[in-house]
Structure formats: structure tokens, C-alpha cells
Amino acid sequence: MAVYTQAPESVFIYVIVAARRARQLQNGARPLVDSRSSKPTRIAQDELARGVLEYQVPDIPGAEDDERESRRRK
């Protein structure tokens, strides 16, 4: 499993990471950045955009094969 700090390219992964971080913020975690907003979802997005939030994406067996196949179709 790799650790990332840049915003994910996949919209699905972006939403999952931002939602999980927003939940942490709602439960009392301190923000990692100064934000103009007080909304947890916006703060989580700001953290992702600034690259201060670390997250992991699990390795999915066969995902590389699916990616190569989709590139061939283009």
C-alpha cells in the first residue's frame, strides 16, 4: 500500500478520502490548514488541495490488468 499526499486523480477516491477526513473533523480532529470555511467538507477539500493530508489506497489485485485493458480500447 502506497502513501499519497497529492489529491487523487480518481474522482471516486477523492470523494472517499475527503468524506473520511470530513468525518474526522466533525468528530473533533483539528484542521491541518487554515481555511476560510468552517464546514468540515470544505476544510477536507482544502487539505487535499494543499497536499497536507496523507492517505493510503489499497492495492487491488488485477487492477493493473484492468487499467492496461482500458488504455488499449482508447
**Domain boundaries along the sequence of the chain:** 2-73
pLDDT tens digits along 22-32: 999 999 999 99
Spatial distance between the Cα atoms of 68 and 43, rounded to a whole number of angstroms: 35
pLDDT tens digits along 13-69: 899 999 999 999 999 999 999 999 999 999 999 999 999 988 888 877 776 665 555
Structural element, H or E, at residue 8: none
Q: Please state which CATH number belongs to domain 2-73.
A: 3.90.940
| Grid coordinates belonging to 41 | 467538507
